[in-house]
Amino acid sequence: MYKAIFLAIALSFCAATAFANAPVFADIDADKDGALSAEEAATVGIGSELFTKLDVDQNGTLSAEEYAALK
């Protein structure tokens, strides 16, 4: 659990400049299900490795909170 939290924090610092102007979550969530699939995330340049790291709960989607770690 602590490892996942630390990873999310570390990623937020690393990705801050790259995603400082990241698109709004709701604009990326094409199917409006409240989560980003890997395909939706890829449309804004989130590759599979970064997606996996951001998916802290490992459910295969990014919640708004997980996506917010990019900012």
**Is the backbone of residue 53 left (phi > 0), alpha (psi -120 to 50) or beta?**
alpha
DSSP 32-54: -SSSB-HHHHHTTT--HHHHHHH
How far apart are alpha carbons 61 and 67 in whole angstroms?
10
Query: Distance between CA 4 and CA 52 in Å, rounded?
Result: 11
Which domains, and CATH codes, for the chain?
2-68 (1.10.238)
The pLDDT tens digits of the residues spanning 11-37 come to 655 554 455 678 999 999 999 999 999
**Mean pLDDT taken over the chain:** 85
What mean pLDDT comes out for the span 8-13? Answer: 60
